[in-house]
Amino acid sequence: MDSAAETAGGYQPWSEVTPDAARRLLIAAVEAFAERGYHATTTRDIAGRAGMSPAALYIHYKTKEELLHRISRIGHDKALEILSTAADGPGSAAERLDAAVRSFVRWHAAHHTTARVVQYELDALAPEHRSDIVALRRQSDAAVRRILADGVEAGEFAVPDVPGTTLAVLSLCIDVARWFSVSGPRTPDEVGALYADLVLRMVGARPHEARPRT
């Protein structure tokens, strides 16, 4: 699994997955997919990491792809929750953008192993499952776009291209999962603060206009 930082913010990874055997298999799949990639991972690899037989996996998941979809769905639901909470929260557009970026980056750093699988294995999903996840990604995109549009309307942001800037902001945040390491010089909270400052500067807001969120 990810480091102890996985529990940052009170989030207990995979607590929504029951029974325990299904959770163990899902955690093993996350580790294997992150380490080897989805296509190079076999159901035997996953079962072995979970300390179970390959046959036991099929009791809980019909296919390897079903496991990936479950992982992706939970991760994207969490991403949407983070961004929607910030978008719907109180304060100015700058304050809400600060909260969105801090929280989103912090999650991608604290849960970097999970986030790599969630964000970078989308093409391995079956068409119907991919459509399900794409719909969630569009909702996340809409939450950030709404904050940016509010900021432009209020005169807080200088953003000539809201859709393009939305894509840039989300891409910047998501990429944290690719490089973050617990042995690095910054904690998830510190990376979140750094990226919030960078994004506020990107959109032409003055960082002091946004109160730091914890």
Distance CA 129, CA 133 (A): 6
Distance CA 187, CA 119 (A): 21
Tokens representing residue 102 in the block: 């801090």
Distance of alpha carbon 71 from its chain centroid, rounded? 11
pLDDT in tens, 94-134: 999 999 999 999 999 999 999 999 999 999 999 999 999 99
First-to-last alpha carbon distance for the chain, in angstroms, is: 24
Q: How confident is the model at residue 15 (pLDDT cuts 50, 70, 90)?
A: confident
pLDDT in tens, 28-57: 999 999 999 999 999 999 999 999 998 999
Distance CA 29, CA 164 (A): 34
Between 65 and 209, the more confident residue is 65
